[in-house]
Structure 1
Amino acid sequence: MAEEQSSAPTRASAGAPASGVIHIRTRHADNFTVLSNRLAQRAGSAVTVGVAAYILSLPDGASIRIDALCAHFKEGRGRISAALNELEAEGWLERRVERGPGGRIVTRTFVYDAPGRTADGDIPPPGPARPTPDEGPRAEPHAEHQDGRPAPEADPRATAVLASLRHRDVRLVLSERETAALAPAVAEWLDRGVGPYEIAETLTAGLPAHITRRPARLLAYRLAALRPPARVPEAAAQPVVPLQNCDGCDRAFRAPRPGRCRDCRASAVVSGPLAA
């Protein structure tokens, strides 16, 4: 006979610690979500952990666009967007643009409870894939200028954004030369305060059903045409005007130099003609 399962909270044992957290656990039969300790105990932003836990609790097909998340959480778009950027960078979240029924281009979002797996549940092989005979030899990682000087190394943040585009749309496969050429423009977006998640979303949103040219040319156009404005430098702090004691009434007032306060100056202006 099976052992009876109780849903009542488990009492703290007699050997419970005298300090620190003491768990009173309840056995859940339905309406619960399993989270890995890797996520629940993730160091850093509590917003990122909360957003991840909320997304994992949603049913398939639920919207996790920034607007939908902002309607649920009190945090603003900036913090929600930053949380999505962190989750995508760490592999908890992946967005792909694929061809749906009838040839429509649709965006599919995959959420992983264990990062490092593909949407098919397989663990990808480590290291770069070997080129097939049709691809020919890969370009050397360090490009050179036409005059033979080595080109500056691309910003790794920018190359990571460009590499993620192929997971959103399988047509956006870039060569190493194309990645090196596009990386400075992506780095400029990053320096202007746009996060990796938002950059990838902007570059892949509303792509045409048929791309008749190299995708690098399309991405280069979008990076130039949709370039965000530069960050406005913070205004210089205004100097604090010192406190002065009024020579007439001895009250404190702010002024760059000693003298009379506004009331005393106004009184002197009024009394002057009357005294005359």
Structure 2
Amino acid sequence: MDTQHDNALTHALAAIPGPVPPSGVLHVVIPHTSRFTVVGNHLAQHAELSLIAIGIAVYIQSLPTGTEVGIKALTARFPEGEVKIARALRELEAHGYLRRTRVRLTKGRVATRTVFCNQPGAVLRGVAGAVPVVGPAVRSTTPAPTLVREHIHVPEPVAEPEPTAVPEESRPVPEPVPVREAAHPPVRLPLRTAPTQPRRPLPHPRALTPELRQAASALLADLRRHAEELVLSEEAVEELVPGVAAWLERDATTDAIRRALTADLPTPLKHPARLLRHRLTALLPPPLPGIHALAQPRRTPVTPFQTCDGCERAFRSHDPGHCRDCRAQYWEAA
């Protein structure tokens, strides 16, 4: 007898006048007298909002004014992660239930003001009474009486009356809501970004001779014939001359330099001088090796194998004869 069976629900079902629906939900309606919030069916049965967005909207609507409802606060309250909660807040903003703006406080501080509207459609239509109210939707301080079970009934849809237009002169003017400053200044977390790498310097030749300068200038000015995007100014050509001269000093041909600078250009190309500077720096070839560096290394001479004339065992020696053991035996015999 450890399981208790509540027969009140069975008796309530039997007392329903008329036929009971064979399927679907049946409501046990017990009127609230304290700690309740009025939520419209336009929110509870919204066809485009997700279930998480509807739940967060109901939760925010039940909170008193001044409660933190940011992503961090909601993540600490509910098991859903920051990604789902942020997506739900964006849904509420897109449908007019939520509005987040940045306001500047005293002493140069900035805070986020969150405004929740329980009937965004009424605000758009200009319905009378659509005035901002400080506080939750409904709040009652009456002590809760003893709950009484009522009969179960299936509520029928009630047509809402059409709102009547109210002239602008008779509408009450909302008073500005004061913004409470935080007790402590907000803590600014460091940005999680990778440190910026310093830009590598443009390569320079060991000696910038007049011949190298002229050849480099001509090659840079001639690039626009091969790629229309590479139109350089005289200042840019003068700045990039040492980089091209470093390539020429390392015995790179003009065709090789031109292919390296004009191949696979991005579209559109906004800064051709920066691109050429990067390629001249990052693709700089090493100096050509000398003749002696390309020569094959000499191999260490290897002593060949010989067959012992006494025991026919293999041993290393430049001259044929006997191995070490056989030579020792002959020496002892002698």
TM range, smaller chain: 0.3 to 0.5
- TM-score between the two structures when normalised by the length of structure 2: 0.31
Looking at CA atoms only, which structure, 1 or 2, has the larger radius of gyration?
A: 2
Does 1 or 2 have the higher relative contact order (CA < 8 Å, sep 6+)?
2
TM-score, normalised by the number of residues in structure 1: 0.37
